[in-house]
Structure 1
Amino acid sequence: MIPLGLDDIAEVVGGKVLRCEQPHTVLVTSVSSDSRQLSQGDMFIALKGPNFDGHRFVAKAAEMGCSVALVESEQEVDIPQLLVTDCYKAMGLLAAFVKQQVKPKTVAITGSSGKTTVKEMVAAILSQLGSVLATKGNFNNEIGVPLTLLRLEPQHQYAVIELGANHIGEIAYTTALTKPDVAVINNIAAAHLEGFGDLCGVARAKGEIYEGLSESGVAIYNQDTPYTEKWQWRLTDKKVRTFSCVKQADCYCSNIRINDLGFSSFTLHTAEGEIDITVPVPGRHNVCNAVAAAAVALEFGASLEQIKSGLAGMAPVKGRLNIVNLATSMTLIDDSYNANVESTKAAVELLSGYKGRRILILGDMAELGEDARRYHQDIGEHALALGVDNVLTLGVLSQSASSVYDGNGAHFSQRDKLLAHLIELCAGEQQNITILVKGSRSARMEQVVQDIKSWRNSEKESTC
């Protein structure tokens, strides 16, 4: 964050300084809403929600060395406090101010799936052009986006901001703070339906990203995705670019090749020419994510060679189709970070391309509304049609996927029993085994991944 005096912050957010006679002497260089992750001199933001209240941790924040607390009521703690009526709104105002001061060239990215991967791809390409700030992890909501913008520092020339949402109006708010030069919708699919009602609601919500574009801003969208008419009316006064994986567009691909491990190469076509690209993350769907990233990078002046080099140097995203070799003949595909219908089907398609026994371990996919069980059943039917050998499920809703499999499906409510069944399935298997683990954040499927790794590590130790 750019250094700001407490008096300047008070003016930006319309707050009142308490317990500090000389606010101009208090310098804030970073902020945090988590008292467990405070650094010396941070401003602690005491956010409140239905199930938490940051004001309970102001005293702890003071012990950790925070320089000031942003609060909605004065606390009996002897540190400078900035009193506001709404900490969320104050945080947003400050984030927008910091963004305005730093003035990085900015892209905002949303979509039902793939937005985190596109974000990482864009950041990898733009890092060849200058200093880049990108969203960390899943800091993409109405709390995470302001906190991301508050990380901006004077050296940042580019900002790559991911915008997620689970209700109407959330992206309108975060894009208003972000004010992107380029805004992209990666795709529309079944995700967060409890908050949006249906796919039309999803499309309308994603279309809010174009509201915050600057006058000279560029709107980019996936020409292959449905419901584009839901945001076309927002684009009448915007510069528009399209990308596609199946037909000609401003940026598109052809000649897709996929190797035995699921990694892809393709030819990228643009107005600047064409170039062969290799995608460093597996799955055919990541070809389209790479094309989206290329479309964005071109708007910031990246060359085709920089696009190719940037994608080649992209670091893997934790929990996103990470390939782990558990043994000579056993592979784990860790896609446990999150899940919706489209991303799960794409992961299953990747799994189906492997040789030998293929096992899907699926946790519940969250926020799919009243048709949630049907969507889980669709995953089971999709896996069955693609020849996946076994489906093991964990949770509640996911049982609708394994039930499709009759004798080759099994449902569990406990991880240890699922692991025991998996071990039994793998015992004595002579062919290659590939295991895909997938589920929403709430399903905590990363714990299943750790269970499998621990099992394999113990097996290795026992044979030493």
Structure 2
Amino acid sequence: MKLLLQDIIAAIGGRCLNTPPDGNNFITAIETDSRKVKEGSLFVPLKGERFNAHDFITSVAELGATATLTEELTVRDERLLHIFVADTKKALLDLAAYYRSLFEIPVIGVTGSVGKTSTKDMIAAVLSAKFNVLKTQGNFNNEIGLPLTLFNLRPEHQVAVIEMGMNHFNEIHRLSVTALPDVAVITNVGTSHIENLGSREGILKAKLEILDGLKENGLLCLNGDNDLLSQVEVTKWPMIKFGEGENNDYRCENVSAKGHDTYATIITPHDKYDVVIPTLGIHMVYNSLVAIAIAEKLGMTQDEIKEGLKLYTPSKMRMNISKTKNGITVLDDAYNASVDSMCASLKVLAEYESQGRKIAILGDMFEMGEFAPELHAQVGDYVAELPIDVLYAVGDLAKYIADGANKHKKDTLIVNYYKDKTDLILDLHNILQSEDVVLLKASRGMQFEEIVKAIGKVNDNE
């Protein structure tokens, strides 16, 4: 990165409060974290309810920063050029939009109630068989993370795959008009964040904000099996729908699992062929379908697509499969949770080849407001429908999961409830047996990684 200060100032509508030190007119990095600032950086101090990063302006000067944005009219340190803006968070988005405009490469934007990260990873994996791909890392999918991702664009990149998350209306709008995607993907519309958005129809409206930045010659990709997305009609852009249903442009059949791989036949408008996907679950076949659609649009061959599918690896805590020393298989899918993702993970557990018991450890799903009891109970209902042997529900809201499962009075399902995961962890030595397959799924705030770590220590003398 090498940006002229005057171009940055023009892009964000800023005003200089002093003069650049030593006549340095170039910025080589943009940082919001004062600890990551290095020589030549522009520091963007953000404000929150409990912090004000303006307090670190002097410290970034000591680290060699060239300039800082500021919402204050005071120059805190003359070693830095102070650029005044009304809102540093908005300026960060404006600057990212300017930087993105310097690159004439395809940008794929991915949003949806669940599956954003795994879909982003799958698309990036497939495209990486032919292109140098930049993708969103970790959970950098909000109004701070997305700009920081775009700032990682370099001349060698040929494609960018950008994840877009949200909690409220207008957030996807701001992300989309910043990233200006050439392809917009909506994985599904479920119940995540329904507390803030009021209804699934409200969630659909929020997700469709991705169209606000979609380029005029862009492409819209939707899950055609989702009840709400299947009804979406647009005239401004061509649209591709993917899923199992016969009305989809890209669809699958003959889906089966063997070991840790999923096998499927892919049917496109142009071809029909078999693929192997190195992960489990029908939802991952959906992710592969949209990745294949985008790959074909970008001119990839069938052989390149198959090679790209092999390159897929899940992000941490997203259906990571491991085995402990004493033979317990752990399906760690505890990064986040909603009804749809819970059910998808439970289906993976139910279909997993095992000589031992199938155990689901499920925790609270957050941001559901008044809908929480009913939605948690729905998960319990689904557990009771599946060939699962034991359910451990953990957390305040998870009580409704246990209740939903218990009401079926299924003799082959044992249901246990723990209000606190600490108590469950203390009981793991008595609970787990060799050859058990254990699924862990909950919202991120439940910190189920502590249970995963504890399972790894069962009978391992650690």
Q: TM-score, normalised by structure 1?
A: 0.92
- Give deviations 1:101-136, integer Å, cap 9, x for gaps: 112211111111111111111111222222211111
Aligned partner of residue 102 in structure 2, secondary structure: helix
Between the aligned partners of 2:169 and 2:39, the Cα distance in structure 1 is 37
**Aligned-partner residue type, residue 11 of structure 1:** A
Taking a change above 3 Å as real, the CA distance of residues 23 and 156 of structure 1, as seen in their structure-2 partners, is farther
Following TM superposition, by how much is the alpha carbon of 1:309 offset from its aligned partner in structure 2, in angstroms? Answer: 0.7
Q: Give deviations 1:340-396, integer Å, cap 9, x for gaps.
A: 110111111111123321221222111112111221121122112213222223332
CA apart distance, 1:231: 4.2
Verify: 1:380 aligned to 2:380, yes or no: yes
Asked if structure 1 preserves the Cα contact closer than 8 Å seen for 2:260 and 2:278, the reply is no
Task: Tell me the alpha carbon deviations over residues 117-170 of structure 1, each in whole angstroms, 9 at most, x when there is no partner.
Answer: 111111112222222111111111222222211221222211111111111111
Find the counterpart in structure 2 of residue 449 from structure 1.
452
Q: Does the CA-based 8 Å contact 2:379-2:404 persist in structure 1?
A: no
Specify whether residues 230 and 141 from structure 1 end up closer, same or farther in structure 2 by C-alpha distance, changes over 3 A only: farther
Q: Distance in 2 between matches of 1:98 and 1:64?
A: 24
State the distance in 2 between where 1:31 and 1:220 align.
32
Tell me which amino acid in the other structure corresponds to 2:447: R
Classify 1:450/1:247 alpha carbon distance in 2 versus 1 (closer, same or farther; 3 Å): same
Q: Confirm whether residue 276 of structure 1 aligns to residue 274 of structure 2.
A: yes
Q: Shift of the alpha carbon at 1:230?
A: 6.6
| Paired letter, 1:382 | Y
Deviations 1:269-296 (A, max 9, x none): 1123122111112122211111121112
Counterpart residue number, 1:266 = 264
Q: Deviations over 1:198-255 (max 9, x none)?
A: 10011111111122221111111111111137742xx212112221223242211111
Decide whether aligned partners of structure 1 residues 100 and 387 sit closer, same or farther in structure 2, where only a CA change above 3 A counts: same
1 CA distance for matches of 2:142 and 2:224?
25
Match in the other structure for 1:302: 300
Matched residue SS, 1:176: helix
For these two proteins, the number of residue pairs brought into alignment is 452
TM-superposed deviation, 1:328: 4.9
Letter in 1 for 2:393: T
Q: CA deviation at 1:423?
A: 1.9
Which residue in the other structure is 2:394 paired with? 394
Which residue in the other structure is 1:437 paired with?
440
Q: Percent identity?
A: 35
- Structure 1 residue aligned with 2:424: 418
The unaligned stretches of length 5 or more in structure 2 are 407-412
SS of 2:460 mapped into structure 1:
helix
SS in structure 2 of the partner of residue 352 of structure 1: helix
SS of the equivalent of 2:129 reads coil
Alignment map for 1:126-141 (pairs within 5 Å)? 126-141=127-142
Q: Distance in 2 between matches of 1:378 and 1:14?
A: 50
CA distance in 1, matches of 2:6, 2:15: 9
What displacement does 1:175 show?
Answer: 0.7
Task: Provide the residue aligned with 2:327 in structure 1.
Answer: 329
Q: Is 1:210 the counterpart of 2:211 in the alignment?
A: yes
| TM-score scaled by length of structure 2 | 0.92
Which residue of structure 1 lines up, in the alignment, with residue 410 of structure 2?
A: none
Shift of residue 404, structure 1, vs aligned partner: 4.2
Residue type of the partner of 1:172?
H
Larger deviation, residues 432-441 vs 72-81: 72-81
Q: State the 1:176 CA deviation.
A: 0.9
Please give the alpha-carbon distance, in whole angstroms, between the structure 1 residues aligned to 2:22 and 2:273. Answer: 56
Match of 2:184 in 1: 183
Determine if contact 1:55/1:75 at 8 Å carries over to the other structure.
no
Structure 1 residue 97 displacement after superposition: 0.7
Alignment of 1:121-160 (within 5 A): 121-160=122-161
> What is the CA distance between 1:22 and its match in structure 2?
5.4
Contact 2:24 2:66 in 1 (8 A): no
Task: Output the amino acid matched with 1:327.
Answer: K
**CA–CA distance in structure 1, aligned partners of residues 422 and 332 of structure 2:** 18
Between stretches 48-57 and 104-113, larger displacement belongs to 48-57
What CA deviation, in whole Å up to 9, does each residue of 1:434-455 have, x standing for no partner? Answer: 11111112222222222222x2
Q: What's the offset of the Cα at 1:37?
A: 3.3
Tell me the distance in 2 between the aligned counterparts of 1:228 and 1:39: 45
Contact 1:262–1:283 (Cα < 8 Å) also in 2: no
Residue number among 351, 354, 361 corresponding to 1:353 in the alignment: 351
Looking at structure 2, the residues matched to 396 and 64 of structure 1 have their Cα atoms a distance apart, in angstroms, of: 46
Q: What amino acid sits opposite 1:134 in the alignment?
A: K
Secondary structure of 2:374's counterpart equals helix
The alignment's C-alpha RMSD in Å is: 2.1
Instruction: Measure the CA separation in 2 of the matches of 1:333 and 1:392.
Output: 14
Residue 5 of structure 1 contacts residue 23 of structure 1 at CA under 8 Å; is this kept in 2? no
Amino acid across the alignment from 1:419: I
Work out whether residues 274 and 304 of structure 1, in 8 Å CA contact, stay in contact via their aligned partners in 2: no
Q: Aligned-pair distance for 1:461?
A: 3.7
Work out whether residues 352 and 387 of structure 1, in 8 Å CA contact, stay in contact via their aligned partners in 2: yes
Which residue is equivalent to 1:166? Answer: 167
CA contact 1:365–1:439 (8 Å) conserved in 2:
yes
Alpha-carbon distance in 2 for matches of 1:400, 1:346 = 19
CA–CA distance in structure 1, aligned partners of residues 96 and 334 of structure 2: 31
Q: Is the 8 A contact 2:123 2:287 kept in 1?
A: no
Which amino acid letter does the alignment assign opposite residue 50 of structure 2?
N
Please, which moves more after superposition, 17-26 or 65-74? 17-26
> What is the alpha-carbon distance in structure 2 between the residues aligned to residue 193 and residue 386 of structure 1?
26
SS at match of 2:228: coil
Alpha-carbon distance change, 60 to 392 in structure 1, aligned in 2, over 3 angstroms: farther
